[in-house]
Amino acid sequence: MSQPSGRVSPPPNSYSQDISDGLKTAELEVKDSLLGARATSRTPVIESAGNPVYPILAYCGASIMMTVVNKYVVSGAHFDMNFLLLTIQSAVCVGAVFAAKAMGIITFRDFDMKDAKIWFPISALLVTVIYTGSKSLQHLSIPAYTVLKNGAIILTAYGEVLWFGGKVTNLTICSFGLMILSSLVASWPELSKSFAASPTAVAAASGSDTIGYFWMAINCVATATYLLTMRKRIKLTGFKDWDSMMYNNLLSIPILIVASILFEDWGSASLNRNFPSENRNFLLFAIAFSGAAAVFISYSTAWCIRVTSSTTYSMVGALNKLPIAASGMIFFSDPVNFTNVTSVLVGFFAGLVYSAAKNEQAKEARARAATDIPLHNTDRR
């Protein structure tokens, strides 16, 4: 898989595709689980009809649009100011959220320092998630990125078993096996080269997709840690989805600014290299657009769940991997070969199996809850 020649970055808080990603995701994936807003947004006029086509199209379109725009932003050959990029995205996202609140479209609680102190470690983890995500997407094609991101789902599932007494069913394990298979297929061209090459050649390959796999491995661990830790912190703060989105982005801004100042070159030569004059205005617009679009992904996620169901949403999220991967082949000339197509199709099927497994678990949980309703003592007065 060759590095694209365009430019890219993940949404300021959503891999939830992913969660989102998805994550999202959670994950639901990175992109999705991080951005959901179903509990607090108000219902627009278009939703009154209850037509599921509109929210499904909005969610799928938003996910594809975000991935393509992000890919454009950071995939330039000389782009290395990821912290600055993410600072701009988060700032725009915060501004958009406060503007939506001022217009009465959404609601969330006012800023509180006590809540901020509790939530700050989550924002620090989020910075790790979005930075490593942007670096992996910078070096990997969109199909490979989409497939390999499934690793976060596996880590999160087993983390829930360890931390929260979760359950991994046989069908879930089957989906994990398919995810691993799709990842191996996606990375096989590079793995086969490494097996056949000398140690010197392998070391020299550090400038290729190998770096992308390194960042993706860190991203999967960071994403699972973020989601599991956030689940605990939400119980302490009682945050709704828009609350967590606002605090995530607002608290991440100072971390990103400090990291950019410490680790990135702010000289004129570096700025000109990262933001070349010939497309600087459009690039800055794309960065700002991606920050604002994160809010739309949140809303379309909420709309899709509200008008359809969580089952339909999870299935749509699984099906949406196919057009997202195809977008990389269409817009960024990612190779359309047997390996890429096979890995995407296997990953696509893995998503369907995983979605079915989670839906079965949800049905079992509802059935248990129905049988656990305590009976009132009719003798009590």
Tell me: the pLDDT tens digits for 109-144? 999 999 999 899 988 998 898 889 888 888 887 777
**pLDDT tens digits for 30-40?**
333 333 333 33
Residue 150 is which amino acid? N
The band of 196, judged by pLDDT with boundaries at 50, 70 and 90, is: low
Quick check: 198 pLDDT over 80? Answer: no
Quick check: 13 pLDDT over 80? Answer: no
Quick check: 266 pLDDT over 60? Answer: yes
Q: How far is CA 8 from CA 23, 33, 56, 200, 359, in A?
A: 18, 21, 25, 30, 33
SS3 178: helix
Rounded to whole angstroms, the Cα distance separating 197 from 201 reads 6
Contact 83, 263 (CB under 8 A): yes
Quick check: 23 pLDDT over 70? Answer: no
Percent over 90 (pLDDT), the chain: 10
Which carries the bigger pLDDT value, residue 40 or residue 249? 249
The band of 251, judged by pLDDT with boundaries at 50, 70 and 90, is: very high
Contact 304, 101 (CB under 8 A): no
Radius of gyration of the chain (CA): 21
CA nearest to 235, candidates 82, 151, 118: 118
State the pLDDT at residue 220: 92
State the pLDDT at residue 194: 54
The band of 218, judged by pLDDT with boundaries at 50, 70 and 90, is: very high
Burial of 2 (0-12, 13-18, 19+ CB in 10 A): exposed
Rounded to whole angstroms, the Cα distance separating 27 from 156 reads 9
b vs e for 208-225, b when ≥16 Cβ sit within 10 Å of the residue's Cβ? ebbbbbebbebbbbbbbb
Per-residue tokens: 193: 């080269």
CA nearest to 347, candidates 17, 31, 55: 17
Residue 158 is which amino acid? Y
The mean of the pLDDT values for the chain is 74
Residue 363 is which amino acid? K
Give the helix, strand, coil percentages of the chain, each rounded to 5: 75, 0, 25
State the pLDDT at residue 258: 94
- Please tell me the pTM assigned to this model: 0.68
State the pLDDT at residue 154: 84
Rounded to whole angstroms, the Cα distance separating 377 from 71 reads 62
Element (H, E) at 241: helix 241-263
Q: Highest-confidence range of 100-114, 148-162, 173-187, 204-218, by mean pLDDT?
A: 100-114
